[in-house]
Amino acid sequence: MREYPAAEDLLGAVARFLKEEAAPNLPPRESFDARVAANAVEMVRRQIMAAAEREAERERLAALLGRDGDLDELTADLAAKVREGEMDLTTPGLADHLWRTTMDKLAVDQPRFAPYRRARAAEG
For 97, other C-beta atoms within 10 Å of its C-beta total 17
Per-residue pLDDT reduced to its tens digit, 100-113:
999 999 998 888 89
Q: Structural domain boundaries of the chain?
A: 7-49, 51-123
Distance CA 50, CA 40 (A): 15
For 80, other C-beta atoms within 10 Å of its C-beta total 11
The model's pTM is 0.73
Number of H helices, E strands in the chain: 6, 0
| Rounded (5°) CA angle 1-111-60 | 65
Per-residue pLDDT reduced to its tens digit, 4-24:
888 889 999 999 999 999 999
Per-residue pLDDT reduced to its tens digit, 52-97:
899 999 999 999 999 999 999 999 999 999 999 999 999 999 999 9
